[in-house]
Amino acid sequence: MVVALASGLVPVAGAATASGAEIHVPGDAATLQLAIARSRPGDTIVLEPGTYPGGNIVPREKHDITIRGVDRNDVVLDGADRRKDGVLVRADGVSILNLSARDFRRNAFYFVDADRYRISYVTAWNVGFYGIYAEDSEHGAIDHDYVSGAADAAYYVGECRPCDAVVANVVGTLSAVGYSGTNASDVVIRDSVWDRNGTGIVLTSYANEALPPQARTTIVRNTITASGRARVPMRTALAGFVGVGIAVAGGNDNVVRSNRVTRSERYGVAVFPTARYVSFNPAIPEPGPPWRPRGNRITRNVVTGSGRADLALAAGSAGRNCFSANTVSTTRPRDLQTRSCAAASGAGDAGVAAVLTRPVRVMVEETLRHRKPPSYESMPSPPRQRSMIG
């Protein structure tokens, strides 16, 4: 099996499964964790319909295996709001396909230092942090997934250079953030729906995480709707960016093209520096200066119904940020758009900077105090989703 990723065609987990064994749960192994322990590279673990406890770990030596449910909606990992993670993957070449996870205190699916990963046709809801979380992992395919009710982000790819990841044909909804990418370079986010999240898509550069700054993400043909306009759980340092459809916070050389962004509470698309402090302890500064965005290209988007401005560039941003050929009603500053990217935008707006570049701790505390977000446990279950065929 070959999946087209950001830098070309990269083999991912599942390529060896034609010659590997199938281990059925509970027929051949009583639990998923026992099946993982029994597996060898190239094997497929098949989960029959049922509810399973989660809390599973794929250790590094169990590389190149596939975990697949026979029915996306009827194979469910249930954390019961007690277990931390549905599946924690530390091995390379692992695929997770066609199943669901709910009610975990931290993450539904967590890949850490796990390259050549794939997670497809998966549903996750009502988790304390992330639905699908890929940290320090490269060559990833995240597609045809549905995540709702995540108190941090529905999807996260970060702390990787290059990440060489594609997020495609997914839905992220009713979460604090739809997609979060901290210090993530070389990612494609395309053809997806981000509906009623606190923030739709946010790219961030922070020196307290590995491999800053964020760079070279392409956001194309997405639909981002009603950011900041629904009550959602929030347990995230990015809560201060609520009400922004697409946020580029300190990132460089990103492309935001041909998206439709509607009814954002504050800004449709905003480009701005990151604040100096990311710690909740005001005595601890970020180890380094604020990151100033440069070289970002925001073109051919349709942005409407934003509360403050459809397009915004904050004062303090670096040069060569281009806003061109977008269909909008309001911008800050007023003359933000240019005829072409050969004449990239200059100075940003001081009012936008005053809103979005305050200390993170201050913005988060203000947001939580004002919004009084619900708990992730209280969010609705998602509708049934289409299962994987073949």
pLDDT band with cut points at 50, 70 and 90 for residue 8: very low
pLDDT at 98: 98
Q: How much is the average pLDDT of 21-30?
A: 98
pLDDT over threshold 60, residue 1: no
- pTM of the predicted structure, to 2 decimals: 0.93
pLDDT, tens digit (0-9, with 9 covering 90-100), for 149-185: 999 999 999 999 999 999 999 999 999 999 999 999 9
Q: How many residues are there in the chain?
A: 390
pLDDT at 13: 43
More confident residue, 344 or 199: 199
Integer Cα distance of 76 and 186 in angstroms: 32
Mean of per-residue pLDDT scores for the chain: 92
pLDDT over threshold 80, residue 358: yes
> How much of the chain, in percent, has pLDDT values that exceed 90?
84
**Which residue ranges form the domains of the chain, and what is each CATH number?**
1-144 (2.160.20.10), 190-365 (no CATH)
Element (H, E) at 36: helix 32-38
CA 254 to chain centre: 16
pLDDT over threshold 70, residue 114: yes
* One-letter amino acid of 70: V
> How much of the chain, in percent, has pLDDT values that exceed 70?
91
Q: How much is the average pLDDT of 81-102?
A: 98
pLDDT over threshold 50, residue 9: no
If you search the block for the tokens 């009583």, which residue do you land on? 30
pLDDT over threshold 70, residue 315: yes
pLDDT at 2: 38
pLDDT at 287: 52
pLDDT band with cut points at 50, 70 and 90 for residue 346: low
Number of Cα atoms under 13 Å in the Cβ half of residue 170: 32
pLDDT at 213: 93
Q: How much is the average pLDDT of 292-314?
A: 97
- Report residue 306 as tokens: 């934003």
pLDDT at 289: 63
Integer Cα distance of 217 and 47 in angstroms: 35
Q: How much is the average pLDDT of 130-145?
A: 98
Q: What three-state secondary structure class fits 85?
A: strand
CA 256 to chain centre: 16
pLDDT at 284: 56
pLDDT over threshold 90, residue 345: no
Number of Cα atoms under 13 Å in the Cβ half of residue 245: 31
pLDDT band with cut points at 50, 70 and 90 for residue 228: very high
Measured CA angle at 324 (ends 319, 330), to 5 deg: 100
More confident residue, 25 or 206: 25
CA 308 to chain centre: 25
pLDDT band with cut points at 50, 70 and 90 for residue 3: very low
Element (H, E) at 364: helix 360-371
More confident residue, 13 or 107: 107
pLDDT, tens digit (0-9, with 9 covering 90-100), for 324-343: 999 999 999 999 999 888 76
Q: How much is the average pLDDT of 228-248?
A: 97
Q: Is-contact 201 227, C-beta < 8 A?
A: no
